[in-house]
Structure formats: C-alpha cells, structure tokens
C-alpha cells in the first residue's frame, strides 16, 4: 500500500513538474562557501578571437555591497568587440548568497543574462540576444581568483555559426 502511494505521488509530481515548462539550467556549483570580497577590485586585460585575429582591451571594476549582498560589475570592452564596434562601458549587477553570485536580468548591450560564479571562482553562464539580438547567444566558462580572470566564450551568430574567444585580465 505504501509503495503504491509513493509510486502514485512520484508519477503525479513528475506530471506536474513536466507541465511547468523548461527552467533555465543551473550549472553545477562547487559547494565551497563564497567570499565575493576576494574577487573585488579593478582588472585590466584583453579579449582575443584567435580565429579572426580580433583583439581589444578589457577592464572590469568589481565592487561589493555587503549590506545589500550585491555586486556591481562595470565592464569596458574596447576595440571591435563582437564585431559590433567599441561599446560604451556597461554596469551589470549580481546578487549573492553563501555559495554563489548570480547575474540575472536584461541589459541593452549584453541581453538576457544568466551567469553564476561559485565559491571556487568558477564562472558559467550565458547571454542571449546580445546587442538586441545581433548575437543570439554567448556562453561563458572560466575562472576568477588570485587576482586573475580567465574565460572562454562561445559566440553563436545568426544562422548558427560559432566562434570561440578568450578574455584574460589581472587585478591591478
């Protein structure tokens, strides 16, 4: 009898959850407690696309507001970034808890953002509809820590072609 009740409950919950639609996948997190202050500071570096030879400067200002449990990240990507020219600096925001910082929301340049930074500094996420849809998808992986940022991002263009680029910066 108990087995039948449990089986019925599992089936009903599976049906209910499957009818709720697709949720944005959450990358695995390390489980290491997050200390966002170890990432704070001013970073300088460059982005490069080895496939096309395109490159440009990159600066980041990572500011922590512990009282609000928020982080502001001001990005300035120079050169012909993503083939879209030299965009103006943009500030995006993250909230954080004891284990992850999450950048979510919409930005006129970066589009729909869903990025996670875990306690070990692993960065995983995506930006959809970048530059008003001129770039349908950008996916990021990488790491921040010890005063260094090292990421790889895959750019998906309209029509599905992709290219891989790197972003590397050091805290100054």
Q: CA-to-CA distance for 161 and 158, rounded, in angstroms?
A: 7
Beta strand 100-107 pairing with 70-77: unpaired
Q: Is the pLDDT reported for residue 14 higher than 60? A: no
Q: Where are the alpha helices (DSSP H) in the chain?
A: 2-18, 130-133
Kindly report the pTM of this predicted structure. 0.79
Buried b / exposed e over 138-160, threshold 16 CB at 10 Å, is bbbebebeeeebbbebebbeeee
Q: Tell me: the pLDDT tens digits for 111-124?
A: 999 999 999 999 99
């Amino acid at each position: 009898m108990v087995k039948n009740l449990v089986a019925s409950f599992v089936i009903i919950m599976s049906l209910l959850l499957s009818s709720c639609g697709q949720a944005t996948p959450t990358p695995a997190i390390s489980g290491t407690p997050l200390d966002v202050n170890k990432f704070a500071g001013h970073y300088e570096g460059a982005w490069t696309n080895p496939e096309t030879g395109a490159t440009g400067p990159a600066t980041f200002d990572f500011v922590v507001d512990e009282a609000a449990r928020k982080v502001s990240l001001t990005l300035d990507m120079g050169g012909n970034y993503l083939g879209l020219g030299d965009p103006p600096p943009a500030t995006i925001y993250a909230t954080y808890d004891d284990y992850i910082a999450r950048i979510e929301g919409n930005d006129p340049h970066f589009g729909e953002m869903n990025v996670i930074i875990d306690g070990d500094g692993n960065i995983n996420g995506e930006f959809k509809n970048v530059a008003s849809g001129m770039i349908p998808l950008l996916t990021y992986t990488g790491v921040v820590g010890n005063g260094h940022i090292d990421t790889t991002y895959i750019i998906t263009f309209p029509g599905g072609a992709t290219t891989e680029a790197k972003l590397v910066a050091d805290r100054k």
